Amino acid sequence: MATQRSEPALRDERSQLHPFTSINDMKAEGPMMIESGSGVRVRDLAGKEYLDGMAGLWCVNLGYGRKEITDAIAQQSERLSFFHTFNNMSVDVVGECAEALLQRAPVPMSRVFFGTSGSDANETQLKLIWVYNNLRGKPEKKKIIARWNAYHGSSVATASLTGLPGMHKLFDLPKGPIIHVSAPYYYRNAPEGMSERDFSRQLAKELEETIEREGGDTIAAFFAETVMGAGGLIPPPEGYFDEIMPILKKHDILLVADEVVSGYGRLGTYWGCQSYGYEPDLITSAKGVTSGYFPMSAVFISPKVWDVLEAGADQIGVFGHGYTYSGHPVGAAAALAALKLIDELEVVKNVADVGPYMMQALKDRLGQHPHVGDIRGKGLMLGIELVQDRGKKETFPMQNRTGRQVLKAAAERGLITRALGDTLVFAPPLVLSRGEADEIVDKFALAVEDVVGS
């Protein structure tokens, strides 16, 4: 990463507090300054090119420099750069976008609520869930179950939902009626020799026991990413959703699918839930909805929830929730262009092909490596967990920061990955070709060897 500091890097370092960045690392290394992008590649200020194995932050699904989207943004900005959607106002393109989204929903959905980020969308979910149960005359039914290792956002409530202690302790979180249950982390948490299916049954049993302990009439909703992302890239073990869905139904608990990363094709199906055959009551989406070209989130509200809101309209009066940029017309134009491209480029089909291909290539190249403990994921959401001892699944000492070293070695070789502890992850643009997947695997394997040997 940047060793010789350019003027822009120096300026950045002395003026910006960076999200999810160590202050010490920033002082020691300065920022890596990305300057431009095209297709699946970005370039830094010194002109060095990188294959972006993370699509920015799991969002630039259609790749960089898509003129269809930038043109839509420019045209909408010129026509009407902003108007709001409060107090009965709207803009044509916003309704058009909402309709296009509803048409693409995995299960019939009644309404879309717009925001600008995954965090604000999950905040909206919490409020919807709470008003839903107030209107149903169940004011006690307010607790939320989420899972350890989950990532649901960075606001106070959504960082509380998030199951990462590193995001809690500095800020006196979690706050609110939030309960965490075990992560479906088969590689680390399943007892030795247990099948995936039995592990799913064990997790379902824990969930049911938690619900019964708390009282089912106090639990409102269960939040789940389909494949956990930032908490370690953890796909559900076989049968996980089949096991938990009946329990949620039995106790009248809403299922919120957090599809912020997995939505819009990443797992090789349009929605993550379609890869695992479960039906959510509420869906959170963001990132890929505009391919990261404009900050936008969309919450999908099922008839089950919407019908209660609609019937309670008198009681609700003005629905007192929203953001200035809920239904931003430029975001809506960007999303419409992105949705059209997802269809035209047959992005979902590409992921269904290149995802398994890349997984196999990773396994062929690194499956027997003595420091590769696990290779896992779905579609183009893949993770490689490095370990000191493969047989014992023993981790490297924390202070070695092995994952981070591999990330830096990969950057040297012109590849951007992300280190979640010692799990390196890939979520490249969904338009990735097989050849580009080979390039990622090759550069990555060399970077692993640079750091931990072969």
Residues that bind ligand PMP (CB under 6 A): 57, 117-119, 122, 151-154, 225, 229-230, 258, 260-261, 286
Q: How far is the CB of 206 from ligand PMP (least distance, A)?
A: 22
What's the closest the beta carbon of residue 46 comes to ligand PMP, in angstroms?
28
How many CB atoms are closer than 10 A to CB 218? 15
Backbone angles phi, psi at 391, to 5 degrees: -65, -45
* Cβ atoms of 210 and 253 closer than 8 Å: no
Nearest CB to ligand PMP, comparing residues 144 and 230: 230
Is the CB of 243 or the CB of 258 nearer to ligand PMP?
Answer: 258
Cβ proximity to ligand PMP: between 164 and 452 the closer is 164
**Cis amide bond preceding 246, omega within 30:** no
CB of 229 to ligand PMP, least distance (A): 4
Q: How far is the CB of 381 from ligand PMP (least distance, A)?
A: 10
Choice between 76 and 284, CB closer to ligand PMP? 284
Name the residue nearer to ligand PMP (CB basis): 283 or 409: 283
For the record, the structure tokens of 335 come out as 């999303």
Q: How far is CA 231 from the centre of its chain?
A: 10
CB nearer ligand PMP, residue 208 or residue 281: 281
Residue nearest to ligand PMP (CB): 118
Find the shortest distance in angstroms from Cβ 364 to ligand PMP. Answer: 29
Nearer to ligand PMP, 230 or 359 (CB): 230
In angstroms, what is the minimal distance from the CB of 69 to ligand PMP? 18
**Considering only CA atoms, which of 270, 326, 261 is closest in space to residue 124?**
326
Report in angstroms how near the CB of residue 98 gets to ligand PMP at its nearest.
19
- Nearest 10 degrees: CA dihedral of 351, 353, 359, 362? -110
Q: Minimal distance in Å, beta carbon 23 to ligand PMP?
A: 20
Of 62 and 286, the one with the shorter C-beta distance to ligand PMP is 286
Long-range contacts of 346-349 (CB under 8 A, 24+ apart): 347/61, 347/62, 347/265, 347/430, 347/431, 348/265, 348/268, 348/269, 348/270, 348/430
DSSP string, 374-440: EEEEETTEEEEEE-SBTTTTBPPPGGG-HHHHHHHHHHHTTEE-EEETTEEEE---TT--HHHHHHH
> Reduced to 3 states, what is the DSSP secondary structure of residue 195?
coil
Cα distances (Å, whole numbers) of residue 442 to 206, 223, 397, 446: 41, 36, 26, 6
